[in-house]
Amino acid sequence: MKTLKKNIFQLCCVVLFFCCNAIQNQSANKTKRPPNIIFIFADDLGYGDLGCFGARDIKTPNIDRMAKEGITFTSFYSASSVSSPSRAGFLTGRLPQRMGVNGVFFPQSFTGMPSEEVTIAELLKSKGYKTGIIGKWHLGHRPQFLPLQQGFDEYYGIPYSNDMHNVVYMDGNDIVEHHIDQAEMTKRFHEKSLSFVTRHRDDPFFLFLSHAMPHVPLYVSEQFKGSSKRGLYGDVIQEMDWGVGAIIDTLDKLNLLENTLIIFTSDNGPWSVMEDHGGSSGGLRQGKFYTFEGGMRVPTVALWKGTIPEGLVNNDLASQMDWFPTFAALADIALPKDRAIDGVDISKVLFGKGKRAKDSYLFFSGEQLMGYRKGQWKVKMPFAGFERQRWKQGEPAHDTLLFDLEKDPGEKNNLYSTNKKLARTLIEEMNKEYAAMGELPPSLIVRNPADEGHYEYLKNKHKK
């Protein structure tokens, strides 16, 4: 009897030991597991197009909820005022000029973001993340440049902008649909995103939801037609907002909301020459294609329930390139040492525990350095002017400009003539930062003019 009791006691001890161990391992795993990251990119969304950024004729309750329960960045810059370089900057943490991505790729482009670049998807994958991009890629559509060759496990979406010839759906490296119905696109990207999140709930994951909208041409599903007070443009944003809500609800149901950092932002400012089919810059000067605030300052919010303090507002400058070192820090991954990274780890800013380590920013348009921001001051280099064309707003020629962005975010009051000394100091600092970049590679966006000698031949022949 005694032996039996002893055996039962020993058995209980062993069971208890294993239970304790299992619980310990489980909590260790829980603390060890890095956060999931969902990065939602709108395309050509203006600074004034979200409820939490002042829009009254577009309702965005879900994105507003992200702002209310998370952090709002009021001075957040895209890496470029156009699509491809903006994406390259986000994915690599580097100014796109460092890799020659100075403009947008076209369906006839034979180039893409160089494979030697290290993307955030590659870094996160090295730490066991499942990585996916759903939506627009726009960093080269030749096989060697596609997302699966740049660190993504999964890709579903369109290879370039939705206004370009031969826009198709791709799944991985294959074209799966030649004739696409753009009215269903936003919904489809959301469905694919929900599937990605659900399938990978047991692993850390990185999802880059890269919307094709509200880039023109605008399309919306039947369900959202006429839903806003801002016409088709507003309807499109409201459908995107609905999708953000669906993602948050899904994370909540899967019990992942407290372990997921969600970011909503835009690749560049609004395409204002498209009038009511372009967005609103919310009072900022100019839009897409320009390095005035309207082209570069993008509405940005981030939610990480229980980790980012609720209702935080950050007015200091930050940039899309900051996500690269920030995600790396959150996942405890060392940054590549063999290249310059322009972004700065802003995890302290996210947690409300500190400021961004750098308060300056270089503004490029293509390969041209256009201006510089340091703290509240922004200096802009002389500009030859541009006459409005069907694709780009006009802007009169100007000499050097100096703005106090704290008092004048709309860049209306040029303070150069009364603050020349300050402007000179800023230009010196700008040039120092620019020189430190070293020699930059030639542009990868090559559009050689076609040889049209045959037309010339006919023209001359008929002249005779």
Residues that bind Mg ion (CB under 5 A): 43-44, 83, 267-268
What Å distances lie between residue 106 and 159, 296, 326, CA to CA? Answer: 10, 22, 31
User: Is the CB of residue 350 less than 8 Å from the CB of residue 374?
Assistant: no
Q: Report, in Å, the least distance between residue 144 CB and Mg ion.
A: 24
Q: Report, in Å, the least distance between residue 216 CB and Mg ion.
A: 10
Nearer to Mg ion, 158 or 330 (CB): 158
Q: Report, in Å, the least distance between residue 278 CB and Mg ion.
A: 11
Q: What is the spatial distance between Cα 33 and Cα 251, in angstroms, rounded to a whole number? A: 16
Look up residue 5 and give its two tokens: 């009791």
Residue of closest CB approach to Mg ion? 83
Q: Which of 239, 245, 210, 252 is nearest to 84 (CA)?
A: 210
Nearer to Mg ion, 43 or 293 (CB): 43
- Written as one string, the DSSP assignment of 365-376 is ETTEEEEEEETT
Q: Report, in Å, the least distance between residue 86 CB and Mg ion.
A: 7
Nearer to Mg ion, 289 or 403 (CB): 289
Nearer to Mg ion, 73 or 271 (CB): 271
Q: What is the spatial distance between Cα 440 and Cα 66, in angstroms, rounded to a whole number? A: 38
Category of 431 on φ-ψ map: left (φ > 0), alpha (ψ -120 to 50) or beta: alpha
DSSP state of 93: S
- Written as one string, the DSSP assignment of 333-396 is -PPPSSS-------HHHHTTS---S--EEEEEETTEEEEEEETTEEEE--B--B--BTTB--B-
Q: Report, in Å, the least distance between residue 43 CB and Mg ion.
A: 4
Q: Report, in Å, the least distance between residue 391 CB and Mg ion.
A: 13
Nearer to Mg ion, 219 or 304 (CB): 219
* Residue 135 one-letter amino acid: G
* Complete edge-to-edge strand list for the sheet that includes strand 300-303: 174-177, 169-171, 154-157, 130-135, 205-210, 36-42, 260-266, 300-303, 71-73, 312-314
Q: What is the spatial distance between Cα 354 and Cα 439, in angstroms, rounded to a whole number? A: 34
Q: What is the spatial distance between Cα 30 and Cα 35, in angstroms, rounded to a whole number? A: 10
Nearer to Mg ion, 83 or 250 (CB): 83
Q: Report, in Å, the least distance between residue 31 CB and Mg ion.
A: 39
Q: Report, in Å, the least distance between residue 104 CB and Mg ion.
A: 8
Q: Report, in Å, the least distance between residue 279 CB and Mg ion.
A: 11
Nearer to Mg ion, 287 or 325 (CB): 287
Look up residue 11 and give its two tokens: 């058995």
Q: Report, in Å, the least distance between residue 264 CB and Mg ion.
A: 15
Q: What is the spatial distance between Cα 428 and Cα 426, in angstroms, rounded to a whole number? A: 5
Nearer to Mg ion, 274 or 444 (CB): 274
Nearer to Mg ion, 95 or 298 (CB): 298
Q: Report, in Å, the least distance between residue 68 CB and Mg ion.
A: 27
Nearer to Mg ion, 298 or 331 (CB): 298
Nearer to Mg ion, 44 or 154 (CB): 44
Q: What is the spatial distance between Cα 354 and Cα 410, in angstroms, rounded to a whole number? A: 27
H or E, element range at 133: strand 130-135
User: Is the CB of residue 14 less than 8 Å from the CB of residue 247?
Assistant: no
Q: Could you tell me which residues come within 8 angstroms of residue 417 by beta carbon, excluding any fewer than 6 positions away?
A: none
In the chain, % helix, strand, coil (3-state, to 5) comes to 35, 15, 45
